[in-house]
């Protein structure tokens, strides 16, 4: 039976993850919550990396109440504020002090209801914070990948909404990051900037994979478009529309959008499916669609290796201006 006839299902297809350690950002709810649940139910030790301790602890308690069998993995809170790169570095250092291995790093950071800015119009929650957190954890990820029979993966969620961005996007300097997106067909500059950050996630993942390969580090990095998922944020967006429109939007969301447990299938596939490691050459730097199909980024700029290098270099420069030297995995990732 083909994968099309028999698509990925975590309950059926995931192996035991006992002994594996994972970090999932944005795990209080939605896709992140469901991803943690799937991994923990197969035995993984999972850190829910989130800013709000009270919300995280409530989410963990709810998860435990819903049951973590049969694997009965462990779920722990890790304090992480992606809106402040210096705090993202501190969170990584805290994890480094606790763990001697890390097998899965999955970044959800899909929220767009909180504007955290480095300077006017430069949102850093979805790109620069995750960049610092990921690169700060590279030494641990690389050491884990060097162990015999190890399997280490980095997964970043993106959005099909990048298809509606204007063409010819650049990341040369601060002004490019601050683009007002006046000519996009996406309604509203905040949504356009959100999609721009999701484009940055794809480019960052591609450039990270290139650098890992160049350094001979067998870590797999993948971008995942989860599709239309009925998260709390989506439901709140629908409900906040003008009367009449809000009812229609809510009806469409509940009819057409996928509930989070299934909406997380693609990210769980990327993080832990044995298929990915068996066919590593096919999935290295891949762009995945639900429930784990290989796809192509729906925007030409997302496929530009030159733009990916430009984004990386500019991000490093902006961080240097903030006094945050970029961790390069004990010198393994060189600019």
Q: Just list the catalytic residues.
A: 194
Dihedral sign for Cα 75, 267, 114, 325, please.
positive
Strands 45-50 and 220-224: unpaired
Cβ atoms 271, 44 nearer than 8 A: no
Neighbours of 110 (CB within 10 A): 23
Kind plus residue range of the DSSP H or E element containing 224: strand 220-224
The single residue listed with the structure tokens 């809106």 is 83
∠ CA 224-226-231, rounded to 5°:
135
Phi, psi of 256 (to 5 degrees): -105, -25
Contact call for residues 253 and 235 (beta carbons, < 8 A): yes
| H runs (alpha helix) in 147-231 | 174-177, 189-214
Task: Specify which residues 289 forms β-bridges with.
Answer: 293
Angle at 199 (CA atoms; ends 181, 258), nearest 5 degrees? 105
CA distance 162 to 166: 9
């Amino acid at each position: 039976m083909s994968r099309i006839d028999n698509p990925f299902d975590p309950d059926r297809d995931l192996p035991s993850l006992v002994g594996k350690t994972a970090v999932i950002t944005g795990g209080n709810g939605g896709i992140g919550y469901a991803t943690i649940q799937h991994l923990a139910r197969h035995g993984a030790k999972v850190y829910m990396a989130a800013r709000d301790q009270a919300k995280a602890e409530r989410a963990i308690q709810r998860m435990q109440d819903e049951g973590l069998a049969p694997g009965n993995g462990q779920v722990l809170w890790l304090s992480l504020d992606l809106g402040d790169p210096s705090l993202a570095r501190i969170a990584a250092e805290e994890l480094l002090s606790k763990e001697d291995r890390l097998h899965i790093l999955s970044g959800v950071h899909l929220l767009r209801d909180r504007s955290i800015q480095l300077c006017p119009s430069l949102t850093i929650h979805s790109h620069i914070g995750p960049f610092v957190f990921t690169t700060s954890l590279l030494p641990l990820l690389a050491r884990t990948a060097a162990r015999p029979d190890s399997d280490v993966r980095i997964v970043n969620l993106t959005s099909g909404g990048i298809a509606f961005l204007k063409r010819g996007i650049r990341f040369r300097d601060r002004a490019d990051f601050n683009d007002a997106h006046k000519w996009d067909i996406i309604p509203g500059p905040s949504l356009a900037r959100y999609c721009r950050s999701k484009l940055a996630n794809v480019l960052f993942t591609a450039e990270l994979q290139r650098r890992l390969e160049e350094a001979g580090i067998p870590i797999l990095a993948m971008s995942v478009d989860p599709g239309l998922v009925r998260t709390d944020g989506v439901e709140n967006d629908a409900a906040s529309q003008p009367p009449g429109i809000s009812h229609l939007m809510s009806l469409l969301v509940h009819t057409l959008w996928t509930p989070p447990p299934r909406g997380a299938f693609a990210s769980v596939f990327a993080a832990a499916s044995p298929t990915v490691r068996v066919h590593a050459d096919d999935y290295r730097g891949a762009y995945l669609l639900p429930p784990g199909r290989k796809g192509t980024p729906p925007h030409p700029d997302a496929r530009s290796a030159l733009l990916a290098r430009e984004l990386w270099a500019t991000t490093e420069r902006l961080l240097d201006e903030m006094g945050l030297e970029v961790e390069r995995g004990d010198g393994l990732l060189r600019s």
